[in-house]
Structure 1
Amino acid sequence: MAAVGEAPGSAVRVGCIGAGRMARGVLGGLIISGKVPAQNISVSAPSDSNLHYFRVLMEIASAITPQQVIVSMAAGLSLRTLEKLVPDGVRILRMCPNLPCVIQEGSVVFSRGSCAGQQEADMLKGLLSVCGMCEEVPESYIDIHTGLSGSGVAYVYLFAEALTEGAVKMGMPSAVSSRIAAQTLLGAAKMILETGEHPAKLRYDVCTPGGTTIHGLHELEKGGLKATVMNAVEAATKRAKELDQQ
């Protein structure tokens, strides 16, 4: 959760509730980019690790004014829910980052609340562009982004682990296979972004009749890889929606 306001000299001031890796990644990107001076950033971390975002927002609600902009990174908390906890007229935006924001290669989506306008959207996008890709989307996409990208990073790590261990099984040292697996994933991802091709088309391009790739893909299909990953995205998305209901 972050509050954004104007400091003397038109510099942006940012306050963040929570000091986890995601907060450090986002705030670190702002500092590295020079968009927000370090002295204009304040962070508060509750001592109780089980403190809910609801309680934290309620604690500061009386201090929030329409001059500030509230940006929420809390998974599963809708704009409608957040707006019930602050005074009328407060501008709220909801964003969903993922872990690679820590190295400025993240994926961030955000949506505006009822009182936030184009100016607030442009400001947030300008600030977050240093974290990687940043796009404004309908709020209904945010929970999907959680399942696809927020949680999806873990799916990719699991796949990288499996690639690495497969190579170890065949006789390659772990340190070497881990680097090759990571570079393989990086190169494949860049090809999707830079060519604009559908992943299925790029996959088809790698396959030659009777070659190694099609034999490997056959094993993945027998294991139901595609359906399993689709189910994982669905499960994480549904869980994000449940969090708001709770």
Structure 2
Amino acid sequence: MASKQTNSKIPPDMAVGFIGAGRMAQAMARGFITTGVIKPGNILASDPDQRMLNFMQNDLGINITHSNREVVEKSDMVVLAVKPNVVSPVLQEVSPTVSKEKLVVSIAAGIPIGTIEKQLPDGTKVIRVMPNTPALVQAAASVLAPGQAVEDCDTELVTELLRCIGIAEPGSEKLLDAVTGLSGSGPAYAFTAIEALSDGGVKMGLPRDLAIKLAAQTLLGAAKMVLESGKHPGQLKDEVCSPGGTTIAAMHKLERGGFRASLIDAVEAATLKAKELGQS
């Protein structure tokens, strides 16, 4: 288990609460626990779905409750991990128990910081984060944006926490809807690509389990090359495409099928949906 660095911004006994115990909350909590930055006993989760709470308690050793107010009262940092349409009633419920010492982190897609701040006491520290589900395997891609009352130390704390479960980059709020469309929804695009690649392998005679393993490792390896080589992905693509070879023939088919345009359209559609959720 990884240990915290001596210059860590994370207090040793920091209490973290999750309002909502769905997949994203589970992924974040598991990442915090696995890397050793937050103890399971210092995490409290609430959710109306007892099955979600049972998972948090039985699989992760996290404390559970049905009271959202209890989560706020007992936590230094509260992660708002509910669906966008539930944010407003939850904030109205917990607002009386939120103090200026609390740090509220929202991962609700599309909900602006200002909307959250208006429903909480003046001076509440709010940070909006767009993470993604690979937090479950400590490979998340997250971007965070601070609210008006947030201090630099608060942003540094949340950034360090998020970097325990992947990469995390500070950014402005105006970027977060596009982040939602790209990395927030992106794992689904990648899973579909892995499934389709493995289908192609099966069509051409590979056993299903081998095809899936090869497809997944290929995307993993390609991603690592982009992140670690510093080269533009177009350059890396060109390096695979030998003149008159197999890869350039395959690329021709992908271009003809609108592969790039489909991915661009997907990011655009998810971004616009995130904006719509925020407006509604």
Give the TM-score band, short-chain normalised: over 0.9
Summarize deviations over 1:128-187 as a string: whole Å, max 9, x none.
211100111111111111100111110111111110001111111111110000110011
Match for residue 124 of structure 1?
158
Summarize deviations over 1:70-125 as a string: whole Å, max 9, x none.
00010010101111110001100000110100111111110100000101001111
- Whole-Å Cα distance in 2 between the matches of residues 57 and 209 of structure 1? 59
Q: Which runs of 5+ in 1 are unaligned?
A: 1-8
Match for residue 276 of structure 2?
242
Q: In the TM superposition, what are the counterparts of 1:38-77 in structure 2 within 5 Å?
A: 38-47=40-49, 52-77=86-111
Alpha-carbon spacing, 1:42–1:141, altered in 2? closer, same or farther (3 Å): same
Summarize deviations over 1:10-29 as a string: whole Å, max 9, x none.
62111110101110111111
Structure 1 length-normalised TM = 0.93
Matched, 1:32 2:34: yes
Q: Which runs of 5+ in 2 are unaligned?
A: 1-10, 51-81
Per-residue deviation, 1:33? 2.1
Per-residue deviation, 1:47? 4.2
- Whole-Å Cα distance in 2 between the matches of residues 62 and 47 of structure 1? 24
Matched, 1:201 2:235: yes
Give percent identity, aligned residues only: 43
Match for residue 133 of structure 1?
167
Matched, 1:152 2:159: no
SS at match of 2:108: coil
Match for residue 6 of structure 1?
none
- Whole-Å Cα distance in 1 between the matches of residues 134 and 92 of structure 2? 30
Alpha-carbon spacing, 1:204–1:179, altered in 2? closer, same or farther (3 Å): same
- Whole-Å Cα distance in 1 between the matches of residues 201 and 260 of structure 2? 21
Structure 2 length-normalised TM = 0.82
Summarize deviations over 1:48-79 as a string: whole Å, max 9, x none.
99871211121101110001010001001010
Give the length in aligned residue pairs: 238
Q: Given residue 195 of structure 1, which amino acid in structure 2 is its aligned partner?
A: S
Q: Given residue 170 of structure 1, which amino acid in structure 2 is its aligned partner?
A: M
